[in-house]
Amino acid sequence: MRRILFVSVLVTISSFLFAEVKLESGDLSVLKQAGEYAYVEIDWSKAQVVEFDRSGKVEKSHGTVDQYNKAQGADWVQDWPELKRFIVNCTAWEKYPARPCFNKKNKKGTLITVPPVVWKEYAKTNDDDLKSHCIWVDPAKAKYKFVLTVTKVDMGSGAASGFGIGMKTGGAIICGKLKLVEIKTGKTLATLTVDHCKGIGNYSQRTRLMDAVVGSIIGETAELIK
């Protein structure tokens, strides 16, 4: 009986931790084209900061991202714009230390470059470390863009990352929609559901959010290209 209960708990936890990005409508096959580029934009304006329980239900709400950051303190408010740029910058990674990223998985097709907001901020920097892992092609040359609209985000727990079951303990969790848009026409080519996508646990909120986006959402989108 104990064994059955233990297995049931593991199945419940696993099904929550490894929720998927699913194609809702449209087609991602255009991303098989070599020599084309896309970039990622993230809309946090509609996001509600929550805490999910193990079943994926909202256990506690903290309001919008702006309200949450203000409650955490002035440093959080000040750091948020740079944190957002960091996350979208990492979507253009060629080498990802935690797990394979989009560009590694789709290396013979369309590749992700940095978005305009990052290009504007970092294009003239002398900090080679900011550029060393990413594809730096002028986003004006991109044919497509991914638009991720975050509806719910659990920021994760730095404290919980130090213990528990596996690397995913304490990771950030994101729900929302991901759209593939043809930039020239504004046409939405595909819409994907982002359902409780969870990143690795880490003491840094920046790393937790980055992995949820780069690894769990954008990285797994490459698996859906047929």
Number of domains in the chain: 1
HSE-CB of 101 using CA atoms within 13 angstroms:
24
φ and ψ at residue 98, rounded to 5 degrees: -85, -45
Q: Could you list the residue range(s) of the whole structural domain that residue 161 is in? A: 2-224
Task: Report the pLDDT value the prediction gives residue 202, as an integer from 0 to 100.
Answer: 83
d(CA 102, CA 110): 10
d(CA 220, CA 138): 24
Output the pTM of the full model: 0.86
Give me the residues of the chain with pLDDT under 70, please.
1-19, 96-99, 129, 158-169
In the numeric block, the tokens 């848009």 are attached to 181
Question: Residue 150: which residues within 8 A CB-CB, separation 6 or more?
Answer: 42, 43, 44, 46, 47, 174, 175, 176
d(CA 149, CA 43): 5
Question: Residue 16: which residues within 8 A CB-CB, separation 6 or more?
Answer: 54, 55, 56, 196
- DSSP, collapsed to helix, strand or coil, labels residue 130 as helix
d(CA 108, CA 71): 45
Q: What is the pLDDT of residues 47-95, one digit of tens each?
A: 999 999 888 899 999 999 999 999 999 999 999 999 999 999 999 998 7
